[in-house]
Amino acid sequence: MVAAYNITREPHAASAYDIAIAQYDRAVGFLNLDENIAEYLKYPRREFTVNFPVKRDDGRIEMFTGYRVHHSTILGPSKGGIRYSPAVDLDEVRALAMWMSWKCALAHIPYGGAKGGVVVDPRTLSHGELERLTRRYAAELIPMISPHSDIPAPDMGTNPQIMAWIMDTYSMTVGYSVPAIVTGKPLNIGGSEGRQEATGRGVIVSMREALTRVSTARPEETRIVVQGFGNVGMNAAAYAYALGYKVVAVSDINGGIYNANGLDIPAVKAAAADSGDVRTFGEAEIVGNDELLTLPCDVLIPAATEGQINESNAEHIHAQVIVEGANGPTTPQADDILNERGVLIVPDILANAGGVIVSYFEWVQDLQAFFWDEDEVLRQLERAMIRNYAATENMAEEYDVDLRTAAQMLGIKRVADALETRGIYP
């Protein structure tokens, strides 16, 4: 099953890339970087756009557009997901690739940032059409990807099966099996234990670290709202529920549900799996996606898409902690409003890094052909997330900045330091 979300933006709203650059400029303003290095790191290393044909089941040929952007390869091969969405455009992919550079550096894993996407609503394709689209897009990416240069992964609208098709297409092209070409693939072809739930689980580890700093409430007294019930949001809600937190609202593309006494998340998952709509879960009030963001709660987890928290709704958010499961869900203007109000924002490149951390573990396991059990993967994930939170918090205290600026400062500085050490070629 694939999940997709509509992007709703205000008229004349900033693009994801505008937001990424604004965040970058803000963070760099606190760093003593050489101005040439600062300018260099703004630009993607390479951008790839392809238009390719796909045969539909009725015999028609339809053209699709796909992208892959490598923002940085300074710390290692570039790493980033592939999303299938009708809202994909080059600006969005550029922004996501840049955020991946800082996320990987912040997580202290030897990757640069990349991202890819195809302009398509995967729900409109049959299984066969989805496979043909994926294999053709993968074939077009062959010059861009390899286990040592660029390793794709799932993102919004894609899943382990799609990664399996990419892995097989690449392997058939080079003539031998290459499990390490993608991460987030099924276990039986070299995937890692713990990868599917890694991003959502990491979001809750970050949330728990934040709450220890700002709240003395017990888990059962802590109300959580989750926007988005795809892989990230669903797994975040499930792990929070398992730890005893009160998840009072969740939503998907169709709308949301709210119960002030808490939702039975396993039952919500079952209802959504059967119908494709969380609203079919009966023991809750139906709410709209916009309304969901402003429900009374202690923690808000935006886990859908970019720009959902903006200057039009930031004043109305009740949460005291926002933990970003999605990439770029909060605009810079909303950041300013929320910071002024004293809301603690755990930023995307810190909070949702669990996916790329376990992707790194998967890549290492594939290269070594030696696999870890789930307990080992989750133990290493939790240790990494706690370490990254502490490092970000220390940076925030040292420079008297918010966590987002601190996280970006750490990531940018690590990439800048590596660039200075390596030098500018030739």
- Sorting pLDDT into bands at 50, 70 and 90, what band is 9? very low
- Sorting pLDDT into bands at 50, 70 and 90, what band is 77? very high
Q: Is the pTM of this model over 0.85?
A: yes
Q: How far apart are CA 307 and CA 302, in angstroms?
A: 10
Q: Has residue 1 got a pLDDT over 80?
A: no
| Contacts of residue 35, Cβ cutoff 8 Å, sequence gap at least 6 | none
**Average predicted confidence (pLDDT) for the chain:** 95
Amino acid at 245: Y
Quick one: 407 exposed, middle or buried, by C-beta within 10 A (0-12, 13-18, 19+)? buried
Task: List b or e across 11-42, with b for residues whose CB sees 16 or more CB atoms inside 10 angstroms.
Answer: eebbbbbebbbebbebbbebeebeeebbebbe
Q: Which of 115, 185, 246, 269 is catalytic?
A: 115
pLDDT (tens digit per residue) in 162-199: 999 999 999 999 999 999 999 999 999 999 999 999 99
Superfamily of domain 44-182: Leucine Dehydrogenase, chain A, domain 1 (3.40.50.10860)
pLDDT (tens digit per residue) in 108-133: 999 999 999 999 999 999 999 999 99
* Cα dihedral: 198, 203, 206, 212 (round 10): -120
What Å distances lie between residue 96 and 23, 237, 394, CA to CA?
A: 13, 24, 25
The DSSP bridge partners found for residue 302 are: 227
Q: How far apart are CA 201 and CA 158, in angstroms?
A: 19
Q: How far apart are CA 3 and CA 234, in angstroms?
A: 11
pLDDT (tens digit per residue) in 271-310: 999 999 999 998 899 999 899 999 999 999 999 988 999 9
Contact 20, 99 (CB under 8 A): yes
- Specify the CATH number for 198-351; select among 3.30.70.3280, 3.40.640.10, 3.40.50.2300, 3.40.50.720: 3.40.50.720
Which residue intervals of the chain bear CATH 3.40.50.10860?
44-182
Please compute the mean of the pLDDT values over residues 70-93 and round it to a whole number: 97
Q: Does the annotation mark 103 as catalytic?
A: no
Which residue intervals of the chain bear CATH 3.40.50.720?
198-351
Quick one: 218 exposed, middle or buried, by C-beta within 10 A (0-12, 13-18, 19+)? exposed
